[in-house]
Amino acid sequence: MIHDIPPEYFEISSKIIRLAEDKLNTKFNAYLLIAVTDHIHFAIQRARDDIVIRNELLWEIQHFYPMEYTVGQEALQLITREFGITLAEDEAGFIALKFVENRTSSQSNIKKGTEMTQLIRDILTIVQYQLQIQLDETSISYQRFLVHLRFFVERITTTAKNQKSEQPDDVLYEHIFKKYPQAFKCTQKIMQFVQTKLHRDVSVNEQVYITIHIQRIINELNQHD
């Protein structure tokens, strides 16, 4: 790569990584320099040839990893100043995902950022299908659910399979099951998906939390009807 890529690409990538480490308060391994340099070099070549590659996960990256995406946007500004070329915002998402993947890949018990993003996306699809609705991305209940899902996915992908979960609240679980049957049924579909996808059982308490979030979405929708 050193022979194939001009040194200014390595220099701008190094600046971007230092910016990311400062903004995200983290450290990345040395491989990220190779990954970012290669991506930026190829992205600029594509842009000069008027070839646009859409980032199919852009929305998810913007919502699930807003800090990383913001750094990605700042990276595009540095690239514009250095090379005099404006890259599409899709590239900010691609660069942000490099940060997510690199940071998570150094942790032995966590899935890659792309897999986590896809898992959240699949769960949202299940909710929309089960409730036969289109989720309102601007609603408070949706935003709270999104935040919960992000940390839920992180928990189930980082916690060891044999680690004991918190003491289950069986009384609350039974109450939620009876009071919110529609939301609870949706939660069970999510649990089946997680079991099939990750071979993980989800705690009773976690099922309660998710059911409550889904019920809030249902309540908000009913208020608008």
Determine the pLDDT at residue 108: 42
Which pLDDT score is estimated for 109?
A: 37
86, pLDDT greater than 90? yes
**Range 209-217 average pLDDT:** 93
- What pLDDT is stored for residue 111 in this prediction? 47
Query: How far, in Å, CA of 41 to CA of 43, rounded?
Result: 6
Comma-separated ranges of CATH 1.10.1790.10 domains in the chain = 7-105, 113-224
Mean predicted lDDT score pLDDT of the chain: 86
- The pLDDT assigned to 173 comes to 83
User: Residues 105-129: what's their mean pLDDT?
Assistant: 75
Residue 63 has pLDDT above 90, yes or no: no
Q: Mean of the pLDDT values across residues 106-121?
A: 66
- In this structure, are residues 60 and 117 in contact, taking their beta carbons and an 8 Å threshold? yes
The model's pTM is 0.62
Q: Which residues contact 223 (CB under 8 A, 6 or more apart)?
A: none
Cβ neighbour number for residue 191 with a 10 Å cutoff: 16
Average confidence (pLDDT) over 17-28:
93
Give the confidence band of 94 by pLDDT, cuts at 50, 70, 90: very high
pLDDT at 168 over 70: no
In the block, which residue shows the tokens 């919960």? 148
How many Å apart are CA 161 and CA 165, to the nearest integer? 10
**Tokens found for residue 39:** 């991506």
Q: Place domain 7-105 in its CATH homologous superfamily.
A: PRD domain (1.10.1790.10)
Integer CA distances (angstroms), 167 to 152, 198, 203, in order: 17, 22, 9
Rg of the chain taking only CA atoms, in angstroms: 21
107 confidence band (pLDDT: 50, 70, 90): very low
Structure tokens at 32: 């990220």
CATH, domain range 113-224: 1.10.1790.10
pLDDT at site 70: 96
Residue 46, pLDDT score: 94
Would the pLDDT of 38 be above 70?
yes
